Amino acid sequence: MNGFSFDAIAADYHWQLSLITLVSIFVVNFIAKKIAVALVPTLREARAANHEAYATKMQKASYAANQKWNRKWGVVFFAVIFGLIIPFCVTVEAQPWWRYLVDMFVILMVYDFFYYLAHRFLFHDEGFFGGPLLWVHAVHHRQHNPCRGDSSFIHPIEVALGLSLYVGTVFLLSRFMGDFHVVTIVITWIAFSEINLHNHDLWTADKFPFRYANTMAKMHHNHHARFTGGNFATISLFYDWLFGTLDYGDKPRKAGSVKRRRKAQVSPQNGAS
Ligand SMILES: [Zn+2]
Ligand SMILES: [Zn+2]
């Protein structure tokens, strides 16, 4: 590597901004949640129900071991993401207000497209070599009626892949669209993580303004109830609608899927930790 390219890379490496982004994600998320839970009884009730379900699951040693493993390695993944990737994608240069909205929308929807493909064709048996990472994803699907905490009950390889997909999308888009504002990265990260968590929420409120929240949780629970069937995207239902894989819980199971699923569940490779 010559001096020029090193200088160019160094000039584009904004570690201070990345650090501000990381801290803001935690602080904003923490404060927003406190306020939301204090003000909205429905969120308080959902939170209590999900905490209770999670506490029960954590009493099982293998379940707790997986969660512990993911928390531990989460620190390493965050260090790589905010130490090596986000510093090249972030800016504090002022932008027109609409640019924040467009950027957030594009990041989330492009990520959702990549996730849809990975989830459908790598994690499930959808005609692509039998789902090469089906054995990895089988860990997450041990939960047939998940609670919020099951969002992180996943094989470590899936954690790494999921985060890489998200951060890879941000990095790739920043090459075409220019660096994203700190505010954009903070809000999209919180949205990405909260939507993933919410999809696993045990959720009962189905009246306005919680209809959409109810649909999203219900659709992902349909996905968990059986190993196949649809609802592969995570941020929205758009790609499942587009590609005809919406699952309202009434789809027949595909031939062969039961056998494959059983095989995945008894495989020694799918240990949770
Ligand atoms: Zn799945
Ligand atoms: Zn899930």
Percentage, residues of the chain above pLDDT 90: 80
Q: What is the pLDDT of residues 136-170, one digit of tens each?
A: 999 999 999 999 999 999 999 999 999 999 999 99
How much is the pLDDT for 127?
Answer: 86
Distance 260 CA to ligand 1 centre (A): 14
CA 36 vs CA 24, 40, 43, 179, 242: distances in Å: 17, 6, 7, 31, 33
Q: For residue 221, how far is its CA from the centre of ligand 1 (angstroms)? A: 10
How far is residue 232 from each of residues 75, 112, 223, measured CA to CA in Å?
27, 9, 8
Does 270 have pLDDT greater than 60?
A: no
Determine the Cα–Cα distance for residues 259 and 225; give it in Å rounded to an integer: 16
Ligand 2 geometric centre to CA of 55 (Å): 18
Where residue 189 falls among pLDDT bands split at 50, 70, 90?
A: very high
Ligand 1 centroid from CA 7, angstroms: 43
Model-level pTM? 0.88
* Domain extent listing, the chain: 14-270
**146 within 8 A of 225, measured Cβ to Cβ:** no
- Nearest ligand to the CA of 221 is 2
How far is CA 56 from its chain centroid?
23
Q: Which residues, other chains included, contact 40 with Cβ-Cβ below 8 Å and sequence gap of 6+? A: none
Q: How many CB atoms lie within 10 A of CB 60?
A: 10
Distance (Å) from CA 90 to ligand 2 centroid:
30
